Amino acid sequence: MNMRKVSTTPFPDQKPGTSGLRKAVKAFQQPHYLENFIQSIFGSVGDLGGQTLVLGGDGRYYNRQAIQIILKMAAANGIGRIKVGQGGILSTPATSAIIRKYQAFGGIILSASHNPGGPNGDFGVKYNINNGGPAPEKVTEAIYDRSKIIDSYQILEAPDVDLETLGESHLAETVVEVIDSVHDYEELMESLFDFEGIHQLLTRGNFRISIDALHAVAGPYAHAIFEQRLGAPVGTVCNGTPLEDFGGGHPDPNLVYAHELVDILYGEDAPDFGAAFDGDGDRNMILGRKFFVTPSDSLAVLAANAKLVPGYSSGLAGVARSMPTSQAVDRVAAQIGIESYETPTGWKFFGNLLDAGKATLCGEESFGTGSNHIREKDGLWAVLFWLNILAVRQQSVEQIVREHWQTYGRNYYSRHDYEEIETAPANNLIERLRSLLPTLKGKQFGNYEVEYSDDFSYTDPVDGSVSEKQGVRIGFTDGSRIVVRLSGTGTQGATLRVYLESYEPDSAKHDLDPQQALASLITIVEEIAQIRELTGREQPTVIT
């Protein structure tokens, strides 16, 4: 086997976004593109000699080819051992769990998460550090800096590794260990939740669930855990075989892209509980019978009921949410008397809080929930948490959420996404909004008076690092909020996200359609940001 040093020139666009480097598959297929980025990782994360790395992906198009390239580069870079998921499959949360369990140096996850896949879809590479979490900004910046000056990479000339057969083989000095994709993760879930109680709930005959894996990576995990281990009938998990193009859909668990499941839960003789996951298995959508739980409410309900779940029975150290996530969980934290942290968008910002024991549960409005059991958001974990609560409380999803609103008030919440707009007008819109910020305080819009307006800046309470320009916030005196930011995960043009939130303490008013409850704020954001005029879009692409 021959080690080769290959000359290359930098690509200018290898800057990781909210969650890793995401580009069209065609970009990754350019000669040297993937190799440059992988060598930039290997060259900037510290001494990898003899270390263990975890490697896997969500099974999308180009996953297998990329894994073979990375294995050969890892061998040429002196990495001691690579644990790779069977068939190249590992969900993001499973990768995080495996890094932690085996004290690996880090991991590489091949996924563009909720972005569509296939030859004309997207591909992505994420690097996770030894705590199991996404590389923090100082690491992604070092990788990016490296990618701008790279002039060569190292790769072993060797036949492809058999990814189907469990067990060890060698690539030069490097041990390649093909591991079961589900086993370690399932064991971790069993240590946190009352599997016996959930088993009884799922087999007693009057409680039915429906799980949609959207042809993505969560399928094998869901089949193993819900059907084989917890006794739900075969067929409970739909679309459970990962496909390279996710069956042509967006593997994004929301009301628009997971409409098959939504139709079932809102249809005749609907099941009691439904859930869907995204491409890499870290997001979740929770549905009750004819009832949608917003991710922000889901986080708040989990926090309020955590003591019912064995893994959290001694209570929570604190909670954390991304800035655009609704403030529902803050109300729970205030009642329990624990801290609630507000971080920028992206799971990497929770890592320090979790490591320092400051937060136990974390969540984002974008269908992400998780805890200190790993350092990523975790779709299946959230579903098991809900099922554990349902098994204990013996109420419906809707009853639990409605009681929650009665106790804490309801935070009406919605996100409006304008996808694939042109980059220049999107940047203009944000720049214009930023320039308006100093003028807004005290201004009256209908019944709303602006209390504060800023571009969110975060100082990490653990390491003091500062992240600026994380989203424009306009807060009103009654606690309502508008947040506007540009996505850092899209690959075509720009995606504008508008987040709207209002608070309603009166339980007589908890039955409104959120779009109706938020109608005034929708008008106000249009007036301030001039979305229609500046983007040419009459309405959002996706409303959740």
Tell me the catalytic residues.
Answer: 113
Q: State the nearest-atom distance from the C-beta of 184 to ligand VG1, in Å.
A: 20
Q: Give the footprint of Co ion on this chain (CB under 5 A).
A: 113, 278, 280, 282
Residue 388 touches which of Co ion, ligand VG1, none (CB < 5 to 8 A by kind)? none
- Listed in sequence order, the residues at least 6 apart from 365 whose beta carbon sits closer than 8 Å to its beta carbon are 294, 295, 296, 322, 324, 325, 326, 413, 415, 499
Residue 330 in contact with ligand VG1, rule: CB under 6 A? no
How far CA 172 is from CA of 20, 76, 190, in Å, comes to: 29, 8, 37
Residue 107 in contact with ligand VG1, rule: CB under 6 A? no
Cβ-contact 67, 88 below 8 angstroms = yes
Residues 365-404 that bind ligand VG1 (CB under 6 A): 366, 368
Residue 113 in contact with ligand VG1, rule: CB under 6 A? yes
Residue 364 in contact with ligand VG1, rule: CB under 6 A? yes
Residue 18 in contact with ligand VG1, rule: CB under 6 A? yes
Residue 497 in contact with ligand VG1, rule: CB under 6 A? yes
Name the pairing type of β-strands 273-277 and 209-212.
parallel
Residue 215 touches which of ligand VG1, Co ion, none (CB < 5 to 8 A by kind)? none
The side-by-side arrangement of strands in the sheet containing 284-288 is 237-238, 209-212, 273-277, 284-288, 291-293
Q: State the nearest-atom distance from the C-beta of 28 to Co ion, in Å.
A: 18
Residue 470 in contact with ligand VG1, rule: CB under 6 A? no
Residue 278 in contact with ligand VG1, rule: CB under 6 A? yes
Stretch that binds ligand VG1, among 6-14, 199-207, 292-300, 344-352 (CB under 6 A): 344-352
- Listed in sequence order, the residues at least 6 apart from 31 whose beta carbon sits closer than 8 Å to its beta carbon are none
Cβ-contact 357, 317 below 8 angstroms = yes
Q: State the nearest-atom distance from the C-beta of 396 to Co ion, in Å.
A: 28
Report H helices in 108-194.
Answer: 137-147, 183-192
Residue 114 in contact with ligand VG1, rule: CB under 6 A? yes
Q: State the nearest-atom distance from the C-beta of 487 to ligand VG1, in Å.
A: 3
Token pair recorded at residue 130: 């030894």
Of 46, 118, 409, 488, the one binding ligand VG1 (CB under 6 A) is 488
Residue 19 touches which of Co ion, ligand VG1, none (CB < 5 to 8 A by kind)? ligand VG1
Kindly report the three-state secondary structure assignment for every residue of 29-95. CCCCHHHHHHHHHHCCCCCCECCEEEEEECCCCCHHHHHHHHHHHHHHCCECEEEEEEEEECCHHHH
Residue 37 in contact with ligand VG1, rule: CB under 6 A? no
Residue 345 in contact with ligand VG1, rule: CB under 6 A? yes
* DSSP helix, strand, coil percent of the chain (3-state; round to 5): 35, 25, 40
Closest CA to 213 of 124, 283, 298: 283
Chain residues that interact with ligand VG1, rule: CB under 6 A: 18-19, 113-114, 278, 282-283, 322, 345-347, 364, 366, 368, 487-489, 497
